[in-house]
Chain A
Amino acid sequence: MATTAHKAPNYILIWAYLFGLTVLEVLFAFEMPISRNLKILVLLGLAVWKALLVALFFMHLKFESRYLRLMVLVPLPLAAIFILAVITEHVW
Chain B
Amino acid sequence: MTHATATLDQMRPPVPAEPGLPIYNNKLGMWVFLASEVMFFTGLIGAYVILRFGAPGEWAKPNVVLNVPLTGINTFILICSSVSMVKAFAAISAGDRKGLSRWLLATILLGATFVSVQGVEYWKLVHEGFTPAGFTAGSHITELVAQGKLSDVTGGLYGSTFFTMTGFHGFHVTCGVICLIYVWLKSLRGGYTQQDYRGVEVIGLYWHFVDLVWIILFTIVYLI
CA gap between A67 and B220 in the complex, in Å: 31
Task: Tell me if B209 counts as interface (CB < 8 A to partner A).
Answer: yes
Contact partners of A8 in chain B: CB under 8 A: 90, 93
Contact partners of A82 in chain B: CB under 8 A: 39, 42-43, 46
Q: Is the interface of A mostly helix, strand, loop or mixed?
A: helix
CB of B219 within 8 A of CB of A2, answer no
The residue that A89 contacts in the complex, of B45, B50, B82, with Cβ under 8 A, is: B50
CA gap between A86 and B42 in the complex, in Å: 11
Assess A29 versus B223: contact at CB under 8 Å? Given A22-B79, A59-B205, A65-B23.
yes
Contact partners of A59 in chain B: CB under 8 A: 204-205, 208-209, 212
Size range of the chain B interface in the assembly? 35 or more
The residue that B46 contacts in the complex, of A1, A19, A40, A83, with Cβ under 8 A, is: A83
Task: Tell me if B72 counts as interface (CB < 8 A to partner A).
Answer: yes
CB of B219 within 8 A of CB of A11, answer no
CB distance from A64 to the nearest CB of B (A): 8
The residue that B219 contacts in the complex, of A3, A44, A64, with Cβ under 8 A, is: A44
